[in-house]
Every structure is written in structure tokens, then in C-alpha cells.
Amino acid sequence: MQRKKPAPPEQTSAESFYYLKQMQSRTPMVVVLTSDEVIRGVIEWYDKNCIKVHRPNEPNLLVMKSAIRYIYKENENKHAGGGDGNRVPDNGQDEYLQS
């Protein structure tokens, strides 16, 4: 009798790795909200439910992940999927990195 494969982990470390990489390099990011509002800044901090975006000439924002449609690097062309193609639609649902 063959053993069943174990179930995949409920959460991978891909999201954490992505946020940490962008925070360490202080990459300028664009956060598009579900309301189509666009926020530009550097991700300073994150947790399970929200991210803190540092904006140089405006107040910093604490953004709930449930309000985020997707995130991309500011120097990427969002329509051409430039750069390494890592956009994080992070709305708390099971979605994957988009290119």
C-alpha cells in the first residue's frame, strides 16, 4: 500500500521573501488599491494583515492587504510586465504572482 503524499503547506514563504527583498533594497513600489487609487512609496514594514508604505513628501500609510489589488516595482512597465515580473496581488485570497 502506497502512502499518500503530505498536503502542501498552507502558506509558503514567497510573500515574506518578496517583501523582505523590497524592504532591504528600498525599492520604490506602486500599490494599486481595489478602489483604483495608486500609492507610491517604499515598503517599510509588513505583517499578516497590512503593509506600511513610506512616502517621502507625504504622510506614511498603513494599508490593509485586503484593500490591495496588486503591487509592482515603480520602474516596471505594468502593461508590459517588465523587470522580473513579480507583481503581488495581495488581497488575502489564494492568488499567485502575476507577470
**Highest mean pLDDT: which of 5-14, 26-35, 79-88?**
26-35
Give the residue numbers spanning the domain of 26.
14-73
CATH number at residue 32: 2.30.30.100
Q: Structure pTM?
A: 0.68
Res 61 pLDDT > 80: yes
Residue 57 lies in a domain: yes
| CB neighbour burial string for 44-61, b if at least 16 within 10 angstroms, e if fewer | eebeeebbbbbeeeeeee
Question: pLDDT tens digits for 34-60?
Answer: 999 999 999 999 999 999 999 999 999
**E-only strand ranges, 1-99:** 28-33, 38-46, 50-54, 61-64, 68-73
Count of domains observed in the chain = 1
Three-class DSSP category at 4: coil
Question: pLDDT tens digits for 71-97?
Answer: 999 998 766 544 444 555 554 443 433
